[in-house]
Chain A
Amino acid sequence: MFSTIFKQELKYWFKKPAFYIYALIFLLLSLLFSAGAAGVFDFLTVTTGSALIVNSPIGISNLFSGLTILIFFLFPAIIGVSIYRDFKSEMHTILYSYPFTKANYLFAKFFSAIVVVSLIVLTIGLGMIIGFRLPGTNSEIVGPLNIMIYLQNYLLFILPNILFIGAIVFGVVAFTRNIAAGFITVIIILFGQGVLESLLSDPENRTMAAILDPFGGASIRYYTQYWTVSEQNELPIPIKEMIVYNRLLWLGIGTVVFSLVFKFFTFSQHAFSFSFGKKKSERATKSNFGGITRINLPKVSYDYSFLQNLKTTWKLSNIDFKYIVKSWAFISIVLVGLIFILIVISEVGDIFGTATLPLTWKMLNGGGAFTASINICTFLYAGMLVHRAKISRTNHIIDATPIPNWTLLTSKLIALIKMQWVLLTIIMISGLVFQIYKGYYNFEMGHYLYELYILNFLNYLLWALLALFVQTLMGNPYVGLFALLILSIGIPVLSLVGVEQDILKFNEGPGFNYSDINGYGSSVLPYIVYKLYWLLFGFVLLIITSLFWVRGIPNSFKERFSFAIKRFKGITAIGFAVFFIGFLFLGFSIYKEGNIDNVRKSSKEREQLRVDWEKDYKRFENYAQPRMIAVNAKMNLFPKERNFEASALMTMVNKTEVAIDSIFLNHNGYPSTFKFSLANTLVLEDTIQNFDIYKFDQKIQPGDTLTLAVTIKNKINTTLRNNSPVIENGTFVNSGIFPTLGYASGGELTDNKTRKKFGLSPNDLRPHPSDSTALANTYISKDSDWIDFEATVSTSKDQIAIAPGYLQKEWVKEGRRYFYYKMDSKILNFYAFNSARYEVQKEMYKDISLEIYYHKGHEFNLDRMMAGMKASLDYGANNFSPYQHRQLRIIEFPKTGGTFAQSFPNTIPFSEGIGFIADVDDSDEGGVDYPFAVTVHEVAHQWWAHQVIGADVLGATMLSESVSEYVSLKVLEHQQGKSEMRKFLKKALDDYLQQRTFERKREKALMYNDGQGYIRYQKGSLVFYALSDYIGERNLNNALKKYVEKVQFQEAPYTTSIDMVNHIKEATPDSLQYVIKDMFETITLYSNRIVETNTTELENGKYQVDIEFEVSKYRNDEKGRKYYGEKVGDTLSYKTDKMKKPILSVPLADYIDLGIFAEEEVDGKKKEVVLYFQKHKITAIHNKVSIIVDKKPTEVGVDPYNKLIDTQSDDNRRKL
């Protein structure tokens, strides 16, 4: 019997076109994604250059699992339908009286559906295998085909997931006899997985996450999350405990679910239903005798007018709306979505464990987590409403009433809109509830309403229009939903295949962004214009939808087409024409603005420009140029019009020993004029790269001075295009707006494979610091050393404008406010202009004027920032050298300009997105006080960048960023104790290990780094902190102080990391020189762990703790390959009988912390007390020590505070 049903089911599917369509869709999708990743579209768009092999085991696993998620949406329509079909066709009334067993029936149904799904999934694998080696893919990023990897993935992850989720969907549909319930289940599983992931996102919950993730992704990540590029490329996915546990758990759950289905399923005629309490039963009879009634219908009036139809539309929409909000699918999606929002809102903007104040824009950002829910509801209910009459078989009655099609269609649209408004309201309510919960009572209702019901709504409305269109063409709401999901995922990534213009991609266009300081600024108008453009298209779609609306008996597509043509007349045709012409017209206007009036470059063209730039001008890189020595800038800002007019007089001198005949002027595309004080000829004007060559009539002799007068303004802004960096409130423009001299290497392509394709030689990014010929420039600027700076900045009357320097004069002229700033000492050629309606907080501290320019309402953390300035100034002055200025200013700028702070001479623009709105919790449980920490870091740059500046060679950022981060850590430690420090370091360690896995070129040692953030900040802070622990803070700072004295304000040749490290080496005892080598000169990682511990109470009441632990370290080369020694044969090795592979290590003579801790209750809270903490010299991998402590210990640890870089930081401690 089993085989009869099984075969019948398969035959059913193999005859259905849907099966082949699904298979084809997945084949194409996987083909597209894999071929795209392998660079098949490089001829259309930018080159896919990367050190990563796309079909590495982990790469295959990610893509395979990712695409499989999509197929879960088809489960209701395949696995659910396998059993539902019998109910729907009422076959079950006959079938269930037949003599086959439940087992035969259920197993045959279930496994035939699983076979069908598995076959479709196999096409994903097939698509990948083909896609990765399609002609035109980049063979350098594709490894050899290993069919075992696909098979392993399929058997270990894909198939179990299909079985487990399939069993649940099957069970739900079998009991409820309702496909929608199956669909809800899939949604809940998917959302549930998302919720689980974000709840367990903390590194401490890795084990839990690994075991509980229903799809098994987290169990893979448990082992692979810190894999370097070469490990990702080369290693197979390790099938270890976590993965095995995870798979067993979920297969087990799947089995349990299926057994329950098996146990409780009965061949009954009615669906399983829940009833709360037993209803009392009654004998039912009806009256079987009735007289003849006279029919006398009351006179009523019938109104078929347009107006009445409009009213009817509204009324019908209410009925459909009620249907939606009362349906289980809707309620479930909303509930899981709501949980998701609340989780996201509560975590949004956490920085170093510190929350951000629940500002309205934060809440709205968090509400973005609801997007998926709103879209899925829109897609699904568009189908449910379109097919509602048909599903309930009321369609013949409804279709025979004199209600026009447009009324029916529009009522569905309005019902969808109402649903969307309800969902948007949920976002608002969640936000408000969360704000109240946090005690934040500044409710910006206008902001909520405007963003949700106007800006966001426009986006959802467009999806609703498309959804109605697709669902009307499709016969089945779930298939329609699937098609819409594919569209919504596919459309935005069309740029990967070279479709870059938003006007070609439905519902795409520029986004809007909000800042408390500047509101939506100029971002909102282009957003609305694009939405309007798509709305016109949406109306065209709506009209087409009405043309294809099914009235009466479902027709063949051919018939529907001929109806559509017949219906295309009168007002419909006129409406179509109007909207379509409007759409084309607006589309053309947008196109014209972006492509004809202005030059638009595709990313492929931009890539080519970078190549041309290097090919044409690189040869001038070392051509002698004069150096800037003074800048006198005038910057006139017009905030309301968002314009600027700038001019500058730049003084330069020939500091070389040769006569200079030409100046290379590297500028930007703003309308500008340039005038040198010496006679010259413009011999080359490259208007594409904006690179000009001026040849001087008489050579500029060594020591000669000349000036360059520059004027720059912006082109007029238009509705769609911002041609200026000026914003209405909160402008932040830096010195990059002015021209520089000579070739700049910043734009060169970095990926060597891509470079090879364009015939460029491999790029070493920067010279090595040992290259003494490469030290002529700082890494900040190529055309200057230290300059005199003055600036006059003007702005509107209600704003304050700021530039580095001391305010000399302030005046108002013609309704505008002018500020004249002048520096009294030389600075780097690096400055910025800010202007906004600022509030100011000022304080004199040790003759230094501390000032914070902030946005009214952002007063929350000003005191912390003030304290940060003071602490950092003191630390710098006490440990390194005097502060070179008499003032220090923090200037808030809108988060739309970025979420960072940047240190200019005595002036620190500081984004509203960090610090200003932090919600610092000062208790022990709270996170890092980052408004304080970031301020300290930025102020430290006044030394570590503005006094000591590295040459433009590898490792330069260590001198500025790493040391500033170190200062920030130390100040934090002195002010707030070690526990604050550990939060910071833990985060730094995780971030470093995490981010290095995304490295696409190479990772070098700290002192030779290419400037990557994760090295200069995260690794830098870890290294300097550990170093201060090894050689002492005093000692380290003294070394740094000597170094500062030697190199501060120096002219070329500039200092390098080698110079700094040599100073540190001098202060480091011989026994610890290895630390320098490990931390600065190489990439060294430890893997330390406690193996076994044992405590015995001694007779004297003390405790003896025996600790068995392992210490080993390895090095990574720049691709992330491990190696263990300096030279052949010096590698340490340790192996016991139980171990399959030995532990290897670089030779050890290392000093490692050992700690023993007890727990103590202080004020009702458990606190850790240190019983023993000491560095031990370790020379072997395997070690045993016995330590006697006074109290009963509860925990021991090797490197317990994770000062050393270790990818498994959670096995360093062991609870007793």
Chain B
Amino acid sequence: MKLVIQNLTKTYKNGVKAIDDLSIEIGNGMFGLLGPNGAGKSSLMRTIATLQTPDSGTVTFGDINVLEDNMSLRKVLGYLPQSFGVYPKMSAEDLLDYFATLKGISNKAERNAIVKEVLEITNLYDVRGKHVAGYSGGMKQRFGIAQLLLNNPKLIIVDEPTAGLDPAERHRFLNVLREVGTNSTVIFSTHIVEDVKELCNEMAILNGGRILKHTTPQEATKEIEGTIWTKIINREDLDAIEQNFNLLSSNYNQDNTLNVRVHAAEKPAEGFEKTAPQLDDVYFIALKQDEPVIA
């Protein structure tokens, strides 16, 4: 099923335009929403998840008009907010049973079965009797996935789920997500490019409430094939490079030299070498183009 967003706009009371006339179509599979902090990712996610109403625009998912008929969407929605808490003094098992009830699973036996399954999927079965409030960050995120799975969702929205996870937890999380994403639409927001690269078959870059680019990871890198140049420079030369070239990123090497990446159709200067484009470059190019022009 396809999620279609048209001309979505949302302005907050403090004047910030979090979503700015945004239109996009998202199909089955993993969709990565990449954007810096404050780009409007959460606002967009919350709007799709029926938690917020936009000022204007429409959102449809298959036949469901999300803004008019939010109940129908909620039935097929799995949502994991960026940060969430749980009722204190309740075990994972009890909480999942509670969420399963909220999601409309009426049969006790079925509820038990699915709760057991999602606990196993998220590798929480051994700690099912412990209070979720006492879980570590990774366990809590996995619990978030567990609750999301309960209604076998067709549309899954996960908001920056990997932030703050250790590498093992992050991998485990992404694997589960990947598994889930095979049969449904998964929208996954992150500011970590790696996540998208590893996982998504489609992606968009969001900044300032607008979609800067809507593409796939492969295509995105292919598009800029041959335009990424790298050079090892001294710290003192950075300003000159920044002024003269379209600098995408610069990283320190261990010997205090800098490794810079530059976007240019032709070889920008001596000493630059062509390198294979990375998704990061796509991201930075998009953001760079969106940067306010300083006169």
Interface residues of A (CB under 8 A from B): 286-290, 292-298, 300-304, 308, 311-312, 315-316, 319, 323, 326, 388, 392-394, 396-404, 551-553, 556, 559, 563
Question: Is B51's beta carbon under 8 Å from chain A?
Answer: yes
Given the interface pairs A301-B105, A393-B83, the reply to whether A400 lies near B77 with Cβ below 8 Å is yes
The reply to whether B176 and A319 form a contact with Cβ atoms under 8 Å apart is no
Question: Is B172's beta carbon under 8 Å from chain A?
Answer: yes
B51: which of A297, A392, A402, A553 is its contact (CB, 8 Å)? A553
User: Which of chain A's residues have a CB closer than 8 A to the CB of B123?
Assistant: 287, 290, 293
The reply to whether B107 and A300 form a contact with Cβ atoms under 8 Å apart is yes
The reply to whether A397 and B147 form a contact with Cβ atoms under 8 Å apart is yes
The reply to whether B84 and A396 form a contact with Cβ atoms under 8 Å apart is yes
Near A by CB (< 8 A), chain B positions 55-85 give 71-72, 74-75, 77, 79-81, 83-85
The reply to whether A401 and B52 form a contact with Cβ atoms under 8 Å apart is no
Which 6 A-B pairs give the minimum distances between C-beta atoms? A393-B85, A552-B51, A402-B74, A288-B168, A300-B110, A303-B106
B105 shortest CB reach to chain A, Å: 5
Please list 9 pairs of residues, one from A and one from B, whose beta carbons are closer than 8 Å in the complex, sorted by A's number: A292-B179, A295-B179, A296-B117, A298-B114, A300-B110, A392-B85, A396-B84, A397-B81, A398-B102
Q: How far is the CA of A396 from the CA of B45 in the complex (A)?
A: 12
A387 shortest CB reach to chain B, Å: 12
The reply to whether A300 and B87 form a contact with Cβ atoms under 8 Å apart is no
* Residue among A290, A392, A400 with max Cβ neighbours from chain B (10 Å): A400
A-B contact sample (4 more), CB < 8 A, given A393-B83, A397-B144: A302-B151, A397-B81, A398-B102, A556-B13
Near A by CB (< 8 A), chain B positions 129-187 give 136, 138, 144, 147, 149, 151-152, 166, 168, 172, 175-176, 179-180
Q: How far is the CA of A401 from the CA of B110 in the complex (A)?
A: 18
Q: How far is the CA of A827 from the CA of B212 in the complex (A)?
A: 107
Given the interface pairs A295-B180, A302-B105, A402-B104, the reply to whether A394 lies near B75 with Cβ below 8 Å is no
B98 shortest CB reach to chain A, Å: 6
Q: How far is the CA of A981 from the CA of B113 in the complex (A)?
A: 78
B179: which of A293, A302, A394, A397 is its contact (CB, 8 Å)? A293
Question: Is B121's beta carbon under 8 Å from chain A?
Answer: yes
The reply to whether B104 and A302 form a contact with Cβ atoms under 8 Å apart is yes
User: Which of chain B's residues have a CB closer than 8 A to the CB of A311?
Assistant: 106
B70 shortest CB reach to chain A, Å: 9
Question: Is B17's beta carbon under 8 Å from chain A?
Answer: no
Near A by CB (< 8 A), chain B positions 11-52 give 13, 46, 49-52
The reply to whether B84 and A394 form a contact with Cβ atoms under 8 Å apart is yes
Question: Is B101's beta carbon under 8 Å from chain A?
Answer: yes
Q: Kindly report which residue of chain B lies nearest to residue A288, judged by CB atoms.
A: B168
The reply to whether B87 and A553 form a contact with Cβ atoms under 8 Å apart is no
User: Which of chain B's residues have a CB closer than 8 A to the CB of A399?
Assistant: 50-51
User: Which of chain A's residues have a CB closer than 8 A to the CB of B80?
Assistant: 397
Report the tally of A-B residue pairs with Cβ distances under 8 A. Answer: 135
Question: Is B111's beta carbon under 8 Å from chain A?
Answer: yes
Question: Is B120's beta carbon under 8 Å from chain A?
Answer: yes
Interface residues of B (CB under 8 A from A): 13, 46, 49-53, 71-72, 74-75, 77, 79-81, 83-89, 98-99, 101-107, 110-111, 113-114, 117-118, 120-121, 123, 136, 138, 144, 147, 149, 151-152, 166, 168, 172, 175-176, 179-180
User: Which of chain A's residues have a CB closer than 8 A to the CB of B75?
Assistant: 302, 304, 402
User: Which of chain A's residues have a CB closer than 8 A to the CB of B81?
Assistant: 396-397
The reply to whether A293 and B176 form a contact with Cβ atoms under 8 Å apart is yes
The reply to whether A392 and B86 form a contact with Cβ atoms under 8 Å apart is yes
Q: Kindly report which residue of chain A lies nearest to residue B105, judged by CB atoms.
A: A300
B144 shortest CB reach to chain A, Å: 8
The reply to whether A297 and B114 form a contact with Cβ atoms under 8 Å apart is yes
Given the interface pairs A301-B106, A397-B99, A401-B102, the reply to whether A295 lies near B121 with Cβ below 8 Å is yes
Q: How far is the CA of A551 from the CA of B111 in the complex (A)?
A: 25
Q: How far is the CA of A420 from the CA of B228 in the complex (A)?
A: 71
The reply to whether A297 and B179 form a contact with Cβ atoms under 8 Å apart is no
Q: How far is the CA of A394 from the CA of B51 in the complex (A)?
A: 13
User: Which of chain A's residues have a CB closer than 8 A to the CB of B114?
Assistant: 297-298, 300
Q: Kindly report which residue of chain A lies nearest to residue B118, judged by CB atoms.
A: A297
Q: How far is the CA of A401 from the CA of B74 in the complex (A)?
A: 5
The reply to whether B52 and A552 form a contact with Cβ atoms under 8 Å apart is yes
A386 shortest CB reach to chain B, Å: 14
User: Which of chain B's residues have a CB closer than 8 A to the CB of A286?
Assistant: 136, 138
User: Which of chain B's residues have a CB closer than 8 A to the CB of A388?
Assistant: 87
The reply to whether B71 and A404 form a contact with Cβ atoms under 8 Å apart is yes
The reply to whether B46 and A552 form a contact with Cβ atoms under 8 Å apart is yes
A394: which of B87, B166, B175 is its contact (CB, 8 Å)? B87
Q: How far is the CA of A290 from the CA of B165 in the complex (A)?
A: 15
User: Which of chain B's residues have a CB closer than 8 A to the CB of A556?
Assistant: 13
The reply to whether B51 and A308 form a contact with Cβ atoms under 8 Å apart is no
B27 shortest CB reach to chain A, Å: 20
B149 shortest CB reach to chain A, Å: 6
The reply to whether A553 and B85 form a contact with Cβ atoms under 8 Å apart is no
The reply to whether A300 and B111 form a contact with Cβ atoms under 8 Å apart is yes
User: Which of chain B's residues have a CB closer than 8 A to the CB of A296?
Assistant: 117
User: Which of chain A's residues have a CB closer than 8 A to the CB of B107?
Assistant: 300-301
User: Which of chain B's residues have a CB closer than 8 A to the CB of A288?
Assistant: 166, 168
The reply to whether B79 and A396 form a contact with Cβ atoms under 8 Å apart is yes
User: Which of chain B's residues have a CB closer than 8 A to the CB of A392?
Assistant: 85-88
A874 shortest CB reach to chain B, Å: 73
User: Which of chain B's residues have a CB closer than 8 A to the CB of A295?
Assistant: 121, 149, 176, 179-180
Given the interface pairs A304-B104, A401-B99, the reply to whether A396 lies near B51 with Cβ below 8 Å is yes
User: Which of chain A's residues have a CB closer than 8 A to the CB of B52?
Assistant: 552-553
Q: How far is the CA of A311 from the CA of B147 in the complex (A)?
A: 21
User: Which of chain B's residues have a CB closer than 8 A to the CB of A304?
Assistant: 71, 75, 104
Q: Kindly report which residue of chain A lies nearest to residue B123, judged by CB atoms.
A: A290
Q: Kindly report which residue of chain A lies nearest to residue B80, judged by CB atoms.
A: A397
Q: How far is the CA of A737 from the CA of B176 in the complex (A)?
A: 88
Q: How far is the CA of A396 from the CA of B84 in the complex (A)?
A: 7
The reply to whether A319 and B98 form a contact with Cβ atoms under 8 Å apart is yes
User: Which of chain A's residues have a CB closer than 8 A to the CB of B98?
Assistant: 316, 319
User: Which of chain B's residues have a CB closer than 8 A to the CB of A551?
Assistant: 51
The reply to whether A312 and B102 form a contact with Cβ atoms under 8 Å apart is yes
User: Which of chain A's residues have a CB closer than 8 A to the CB of B147?
Assistant: 397
Q: How far is the CA of A290 from the CA of B103 in the complex (A)?
A: 29
* Residue among B13, B74, B80, B175 with max Cβ neighbours from chain A (10 Å): B74
The reply to whether A312 and B86 form a contact with Cβ atoms under 8 Å apart is no
The reply to whether B121 and A293 form a contact with Cβ atoms under 8 Å apart is yes
User: Which of chain B's residues have a CB closer than 8 A to the CB of A300?
Assistant: 105, 107, 110-111, 113-114, 152
Q: Kindly report which residue of chain A lies nearest to residue B52, judged by CB atoms.
A: A553
A1112 shortest CB reach to chain B, Å: 68
Q: How far is the CA of A680 from the CA of B118 in the complex (A)?
A: 99
User: Which of chain A's residues have a CB closer than 8 A to the CB of B138?
Assistant: 286
B289 shortest CB reach to chain A, Å: 31
Q: How far is the CA of A286 from the CA of B139 in the complex (A)?
A: 10
The reply to whether A293 and B120 form a contact with Cβ atoms under 8 Å apart is yes
User: Which of chain A's residues have a CB closer than 8 A to the CB of B166?
Assistant: 288
The reply to whether B83 and A289 form a contact with Cβ atoms under 8 Å apart is no
The reply to whether B50 and A400 form a contact with Cβ atoms under 8 Å apart is yes
User: Which of chain B's residues have a CB closer than 8 A to the CB of A292?
Assistant: 175, 179
The reply to whether B101 and A315 form a contact with Cβ atoms under 8 Å apart is yes
The reply to whether A402 and B179 form a contact with Cβ atoms under 8 Å apart is no
User: Which of chain B's residues have a CB closer than 8 A to the CB of A315?
Assistant: 101
Q: How far is the CA of A550 from the CA of B294 in the complex (A)?
A: 43
The reply to whether A308 and B168 form a contact with Cβ atoms under 8 Å apart is no
User: Which of chain B's residues have a CB closer than 8 A to the CB of A316?
Assistant: 98, 101-102
Q: Kindly report which residue of chain A lies nearest to residue B86, judged by CB atoms.
A: A394
The reply to whether A403 and B111 form a contact with Cβ atoms under 8 Å apart is no
User: Which of chain A's residues have a CB closer than 8 A to the CB of B144?
Assistant: 397
Q: How far is the CA of A399 from the CA of B77 in the complex (A)?
A: 11
User: Which of chain B's residues have a CB closer than 8 A to the CB of A552?
Assistant: 46, 50-52
Q: How far is the CA of A559 from the CA of B12 in the complex (A)?
A: 12
User: Which of chain A's residues have a CB closer than 8 A to the CB of B136?
Assistant: 286
The reply to whether A326 and B101 form a contact with Cβ atoms under 8 Å apart is no
User: Which of chain B's residues have a CB closer than 8 A to the CB of A293?
Assistant: 120-121, 123, 175-176, 179
User: Which of chain A's residues have a CB closer than 8 A to the CB of B77?
Assistant: 400, 402
Q: How far is the CA of A286 from the CA of B88 in the complex (A)?
A: 22
